[in-house]
C-alpha cells in the first residue's frame, strides 16, 4: 500500500528535475560562446516503482536524475586531433618554404640574380670591346663580386631560417611540457571530484581544450578507461576514470605521472652547412637526464613540430649513405663505398661529424675520398673514429669487422622533404660547378702582366689566404688530385656561404686574365680569347644537368614553388577535413541558443505543471487533514 503522501513526493521529484534542467539550460546559454564548452543535459530515468497489490501491479514514484552529462563524441575528438596534427604539419612546411622562396624571389628582383647576371653580361661586353681598359676590367670584377655576394646572402638567410626554426622547436617543446602539466593537474582534480560527487564536466572541457592545443603541435592518442574497485564479477565502478595521453607508444601524462620532453643540442653536425647546436628532442629521464630520442622521422608522428623538423633537416630522402667496405682497427677508421659514385660538387659532409655504422653512432674528425677515372668519389674513409661510453665520455671506437662489414653507413636520416639542407646543397653545387668551369677557363690564360692566371673564384683558408683550386703542370694541363682530403684545398671547400672572388684580383685589376699568354707576349693588349670563353660559358647548356647557370638557378626556384604548391594543397585539404570533423563534433557538443530557448519554455511548463501537482495535492491534503471529520 503506497504512502498517503506518495503523490506529493512524486510531484516534488518532478519539481526538482525541471529545476535542474532550468539551471543546466541557463549554464549552457551562459557558456554558448566559450571555446571548448560542451553542452550539458540532465540525465534521468523513472524512479523505482512500488508494488500496490498483487492485482494492481506497480505504481510509479516520479523521476530520478542520473547526473548531468556532457554531449560529446570521443570518436569525433580522435578524428579531429589526427586531422589537426596533419594540417599543422603541412602548414608549417608551407610557411617556412614560403619564407625561403622570398629569399629566392629577391634573387629575381631588381637586385636579384637575373638583374646582376644582366649587368655582368653588359660588363663582359664592355670589357670585350676594350680588354685593356682598367675601368672596364674593374667594372667586370665588381659585377662578379656582387653576384657572389648575392649568393652568400641567400645562403646566410637560409642559415638564419634554420636558426629561427630551431628556436621555435625549443619553444614548442616547452609548450608541450606546459600543456602536459596542466592536463596532469586537471586529471587530479577531475578524479578527486568524480570519485565523490559526480561528473566534473567543466573541468573535462578545459582538459579537452588543452588536448586540442596539444594535437596542433604533435599528434596524440587519448585513452580513457573507467577505474573499478575489486576484480572480476565483483568489480564496481569508482565513478572516476584513467585518462592518459600518449605520444606514439609512450604515455605523456595520466593520473599518476606527467613526463616531460627536453631538447638537447647535437654534439656534431650532420650536414656541411648546418648551424651549430641544432636541437633533437628527447624524453626526460631520471634526475633530468636524457632518455630515448623522440623520432620525428617516424610515419606515425605528425604536427607542427614535425613540419618544422622536416624543413630544418630535410634532405629529399637523400642523405650521405654507403656500404662499409673495410674496417681498420689499428687506426680506428672505416672506408665506405659509394654506389653510384658521387660528384664532389654534390657532397655535403661536415669536416667533423657523426656517422651511423650499422645503426650505431660514431664520431669522426676527418675523411679522405678516393676518385674514379671520371673524377667522382667511389669511396670515403672516415678517420679517428670515437664513440660515447656509458658515462657519455668519448673513447676510441670499438670497431668489430664482423658486426660492421657490408652494413650500411649513413649520416643523419632519410627525410622526405626538400628542406634547408637540400637547398643549401643545391647552392653549393652551383657555386662549385660554376667556379670549377670558370677557373678552368681563366687559368689557361695569363694576366695583364703576362704572369700565370689566378683562379677567379675561390675562398680563404684559416690563415686568410686564398685557396689555389686549379693547378696546372709545366705543359699547362690541369692536375687532378687522386684524393679528396677534408680540411685541405679543393672545390669541396667552396660553399654558398664563403664563395668569393680572388682577393688578389679584387685588389689589382691587372691580375684578371682575359687573354692567353701568347697574345700577351706578342703585345696584343686587345686579345680576349679567355674572355670569349667566359662569355660563351654563361650560355653553355652543358655546364649543369639543368642547362645554363641561369637555368640552374631557375630550376631551384621552380622546385621550391612546386613544393610550396604541394604543401599548400595538402594543408588546404586537411584543413577542410578538420573543419568538417569539427562541425560534426560541434553538432553534438556545441550550444544552440535557439534550441536552449525552446528548452527553457518546455522546462518552464514542466516546472509549472509539477508545481500545479503539488498545489492540487496540497488542497487534497488540507481537505483530508483539516476539513474531514
Mean pLDDT by runs of 10 across the 629 residues of the chain is 77 93 96 94 92 76 91 94 96 95 69 81 93 94 94 95 97 97 95 86 95 96 87 75 92 93 93 95 89 86 96 95 96 96 94 94 95 95 94 91 96 94 97 97 94 95 91 88 88 96 96 94 90 95 94 91 95 96 94 95 95 90 80
Cell of 343: 660528384
CB 330 within 8 A of CB 401: no
Is 546 within a domain? no
**The pLDDT of residue 628:** 77
**The pLDDT of residue 339:** 93
Is 596 within a domain? yes
Neighbours of 328 (CB within 10 A): 14
Is 49 within a domain? yes
pTM above 0.85, yes or no: yes
Distance from C-alpha of 275 to C-alpha of 279, rounded to nearest angstrom: 10
> Exposed/middle/buried for 273, CB within 10 Å: 0-12, 13-18, 19+?
buried
> In Å, how far are 95, 105, 107, 165, 404 from 99, measured between CA atoms?
6, 10, 13, 11, 42
> Looking at 378, 410, 442, which one is the last position of a domain?
410
**The pLDDT of residue 474:** 82
Is 600 within a domain? yes
Strands (E), 374-518: 377-382, 386-388, 394-396, 408-410, 457-458, 483-485, 500-501
DSSP state of 567: H
Q: By residue range, what is the domain housing residue 42?
A: 1-71+592-629
Phi, psi of 133 (to 5 degrees): -75, 120
**The pLDDT of residue 475:** 84
Task: Classify 323 as helix, strand or coil.
Answer: strand
Query: Total domain count for the chain?
Result: 2
Distance from C-alpha of 91 to C-alpha of 95, rounded to nearest angstrom: 6
Is 400 within a domain? yes
Q: Which of 463, 425, 426, 404 is nearest to 553 (CA)?
A: 426
Is 132 within a domain? no
> Looking at 410, 433, 455, which one is the last position of a domain?
410
Is 577 within a domain? no
Is 277 within a domain? no
> Looking at 376, 392, 410, which one is the last position of a domain?
410
Neighbours of 340 (CB within 10 A): 7
H-helix or E-strand containing 555? helix 549-589
Which residues is 228 bridged to in the sheet?
A: 237
Amino acid at each position: 500500500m503506497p504512502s498517503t503522501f506518495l503523490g506529493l513526493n512524486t510531484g516534488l521529484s518532478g519539481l526538482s528535475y525541471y529545476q535542474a534542467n532550468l539551471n543546466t539550460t541557463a549554464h549552457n546559454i551562459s557558456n554558448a560562446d566559450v571555446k571548448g564548452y560542451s553542452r550539458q543535459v540532465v540525465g534521468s530515468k523513472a524512479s523505482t516503482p512500488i508494488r500496490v497489490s498483487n492485482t494492481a501491479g506497480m505504481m510509479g514514484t516520479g523521476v530520478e536524475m542520473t547526473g548531468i552529462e556532457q554531449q560529446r563524441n570521443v570518436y569525433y575528438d580522435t578524428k579531429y586531433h589526427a586531422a589537426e596534427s596533419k594540417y599543422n604539419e603541412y602548414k608549417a612546411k608551407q610557411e617556412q618554404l614560403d619564407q625561403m622562396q622570398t629569399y629566392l624571389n629577391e634573387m629575381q628582383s631588381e637586385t636579384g640574380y637575373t638583374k646582376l647576371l644582366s649587368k655582368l653580361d653588359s660588363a663582359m661586353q664592355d670589357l670585350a670591346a676594350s680588354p685593356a681598359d682598367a675601368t672596364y676590367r674593374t667594372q667586370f670584377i665588381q659585377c662578379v663580386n656582387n653576384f657572389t655576394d648575392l649568393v652568400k646572402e641567400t645562403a646566410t638567410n637560409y642559415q638564419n631560417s634554420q636558426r629561427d626554426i630551431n628556436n621555435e622547436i625549443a619553444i614548442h617543446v616547452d609548450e608541450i611540457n606546459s600543456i602536459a602539466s596542466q592536463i596532469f593537474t586537471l586529471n587530479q582534480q577531475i578524479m578527486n571530484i568524480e570519485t565523490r560527487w559526480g561528473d566534473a564536466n567543466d573541468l573535462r572541457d578545459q582538459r579537452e581544450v588543452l588536448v586540442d592545443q596539444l594535437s596542433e603541435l604533435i599528434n596524440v592518442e587519448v585513452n580513457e578507461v573507467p577505474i573499478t574497485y575489486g576484480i572480476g564479477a565483483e568489480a564496481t565502478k569508482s565513478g572516476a576514470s584513467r585518462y592518459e595521453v600518449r605520444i606514439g607508444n609512450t604515455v605523456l601524462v595520466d593520473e599518476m605521472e606527467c613526463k616531460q620532453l627536453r631538447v638537447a643540442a647535437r654534439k656534431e653536425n650532420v650536414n656541411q652547412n648546418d648551424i651549430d647546436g641544432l636541437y633533437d628532442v628527447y624524453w626526460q629521464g631520471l634526475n633530468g637526464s636524457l632518455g630515448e630520442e623522440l623520432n620525428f622521422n617516424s610515419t606515425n608522428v605528425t604536427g607542427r613540430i614535425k613540419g618544422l623538423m622536416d624543413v630544418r633537416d630535410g634532405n629529399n630522402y637523400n642523405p650521405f649513405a654507403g656500404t662499409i667496405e673495410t674496417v681498420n682497427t689499428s687506426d680506428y677508421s672505416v672506408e665506405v663505398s659509394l654506389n653510384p659514385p658521387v660528384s664532389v660538387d654534390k657532397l655535403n659532409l661536415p669536416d667533423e661529424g657523426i656517422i651511423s655504422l650499422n645503426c650505431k653512432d660514431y664520431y669522426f674528425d676527418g675523411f679522405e675520398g678516393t676518385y674514379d677515372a671520371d673524377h667522382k668519389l667511389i669511396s670515403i674513409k672516415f678517420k679517428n673514429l670515437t664513440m660515447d661510453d656509458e658515462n657519455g665520455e668519448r673513447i676510441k671506437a670499438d670497431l668489430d669487422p664482423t658486426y660492421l662489414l657490408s652494413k650500411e653507413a649513413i649520416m643523419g636520416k632519410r627525410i622526405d622533404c626538400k628542406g634547408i639542407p637540400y637547398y643549401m646543397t643545391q647552392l653549393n653545387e652551383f657555386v662549385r660547378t660554376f667556379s670549377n668551369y670558370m677557373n678552368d677557363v681563366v687559368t689557361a690564360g695569363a694576366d695583364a702582366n703576362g704572369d700565370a692566371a689566378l683562379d677567379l673564384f675561390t675562398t680563404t683558408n684559416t690563415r686568410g689566404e686564398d685557396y689555389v683550386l686549379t693547378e696546372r703542370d709545366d705543359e699547362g694541363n690541369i692536375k687532378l688530385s687522386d684524393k679528396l682530403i677534408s680540411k685541405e684545398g679543393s672545390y669541396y671547400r667552396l660553399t654558398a656561404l664563403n664563395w668569393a672572388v680572388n682577393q688578389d684580383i679584387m685588389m689589382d685589376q691587372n691580375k684578371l686574365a682575359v687573354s692567353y699568354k701568347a697574345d700577351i707576349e706578342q703585345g696584343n693588349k686587345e686579345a680576349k680569347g679567355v674572355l670569349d670563353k667566359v662569355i660563351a660559358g654563361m650560355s653553355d647548356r652543358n655546364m649543369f644537368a639543368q642547362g645554363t647557370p641561369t637555368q640552374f638557378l631557375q630550376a631551384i626556384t621552380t622546385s621550391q614553388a612546386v613544393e610550396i604548391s604541394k604543401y599548400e594543397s595538402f594543408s588546404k585539404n586537411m584543413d577542410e577535413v578538420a573543419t568538417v570533423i569539427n562541425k560534426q563534433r560541434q553538432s553534438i557538443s556545441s550550444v544552440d541558443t535557439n534550441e536552449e530557448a525552446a528548452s527553457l519554455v518546455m522546462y518552464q511548463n514542466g516546472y509549472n505543471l509539477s508545481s500545479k501537482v503539488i498545489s492540487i495535492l496540497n488542497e487534497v491534503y488540507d481537505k483530508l487533514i483539516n476539513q474531514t471529520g
